[in-house]
A and B are shown apart, each in its own frame.
Chain A
Amino acid sequence: MKRPFKTRVKTLTIDGMAVGAREDETILELAQANGIFIPTLCHLEGVHDIGACRLCLVEIKGTSKLLPACMTYAEEGMEVITDSERLLTYRRQVLDLLFSERNHVCAVCVSNGHCELQWLAEKLGISHVGVPYLYPQLAVDASHSFYVLDHNRCILCTRCVRVCDEIEGAHTWDVMGRGVECRVISDLNQPWGTADSCTRCGKCVQVCPTGALFSKGKAVAEMTKKREFLPYLQLMREGRK
């Protein structure tokens, strides 16, 4: 026999706090709505989540696996822990790995003081990076008339890729290569300035969490990012559907 109704509202606890949720809400959304901080880097409100940065991993009672809060949906009776010592250790290690992967020199970066990576390092208490730096040889693409892409500062969160594809609809950006050799590329791996699909809207620049994408002419610490447009565009798109 079919169950006559479907539960659409769930009750669960996050760090001991009882919260009510719709079944289509993620742990991350619930935590944010209830003032519980979960660090994120690849998550961007308005585009689909990929669970790649692993900063938002949370513990869920009854499973030994850590799950990304941005892609885990509320379930009845779930007991979520977001701030254990174990999680903090792993999150710090993730940041360690990100700092070591490319050439982040905060002191001379356009985004110094406005960078999400830098901010998270402070927030999570990173006083030094525990693994050796890799110092890869990376290029700066300044071929675009308005913007610059500095691979040295890219953390491969792919926010630019998703915002360009899902909000702007241009799909100028994508990722090529494997593993640590992955690079964000424009069109067919050509200089950004020659990428015909680029509409110069600059959304990628505004959503980039670090100084990897920035406006031309900005000096150290001058690049602040403006994100207010995102939820608005998202609403417009949903309204049109």
Chain B
Amino acid sequence: MALQVNIKDILSQLSQHRGVVEFLFANRENITVNELLAREDISHDQFQKLKSLDLVYEYENIVSLNDAVVSMFEDFMEIGEVTPGFINDYINELNRHIRFYQESRENRFLRSIKKYLKRINSTLTREIIKLQKNVDDTYKNEGNYRIKLQKLENFREKRDTIIDFIKKTNDVVESTRSLFSLTNDSELFGIVQALKVSLIENLDFLIEIQTDITDFINKIQFQLDVYKKAQQLKEIKDYGTLYFKSNFKEIVNGINSIKYNGHRAPKTKIAIDFLYSDDGHVLCKRISEKYKITRLMVRGLADKMAGNFKDKGLEHQIKLDTEKLVERFLEQKKSNLFEYLIEYKFPKAIGIVSFEDRLSLFVEIAMEYQNQLDFKYRLQYHDYRNNEKQNKRLGYTLILPIKEKAKKEKIKN
């Protein structure tokens, strides 16, 4: 370090220039001094200050964050490169500190032990995730066969190394069990417990990776073999000896896929009834256009039915009935029109005729058949309950069937 610095200075510098730090962290390799100084949030002096604190480096006009800062961020966010070497270092350090702790039971050694146990745990997991990803990527994306095989081989070695580390870690944890239980430290206990669980888990992952690698290698091998075979077959085929030097004929004969045995997909005739439907008409029209047959184009589509055609049908029916209804009403003499309509039992086909419908029917008949009706111009009252169960009273005009005499008079008028 160029200057004697303390945490306070570093923190205040970092937080003062957090925009710059974030920027440099994101673009680690390719920021020039001019680019950086073009930003509004840093002046030349401030840049010099950062440099003097060794928080940033400048080399051949390229600015970069201090590696320590970068790796702090990376460690904290668990990103960035890790290599099996790290794990080895951690295990050595762990062993060293355990020895120290065995010598003298001081808390500072215990703290380091905890630190390294935690680090081993997180690094192992990251390493395995990375391995898995690399194996997958290599199998799927590496175009060159030989390189692919080589890479997968390397991953296999790497996997073995990691398994070694897991075993080592396990040994360390096992052998220090009595020592750790002496410390009576619940945090340490928790860390060891978590580490053990994740060691077992990671071992499982590694076995899976191993199966993947083997599987991939075998697949590649199979494909290589097949391609070699294909080339050989092609060669003897070119010599015209394919049928004689191989069992090609028998193999092909034994192929049972329906595609190669002349089994056609089942075809069905179109049902006549379908042709009469509207969909069938569309089909006919298409065919007629294709083959220019006018005969098929004669029948047109029916117009679209109105959306409310069902309601219309109902009204229509009621209307049809009104004439007969009026006739029947005229033939009887017991009740007036209103009472007659309210009491009337409509045929079931119409469905339920509500009170409101009967009322509108009453008004309709009164208006349309006024010549055949005797209007008394007297009010009568009808009591009923509406939907909300309130008692209501309705006044209506008394209308009676016209009497024969009156009828004649009315016609005369």
Partners in one complex: no
Q: Which residues does B use to contact A, with CB under 8 Å?
A: none
Q: Which residues does A use to contact B, with CB under 8 Å?
A: none
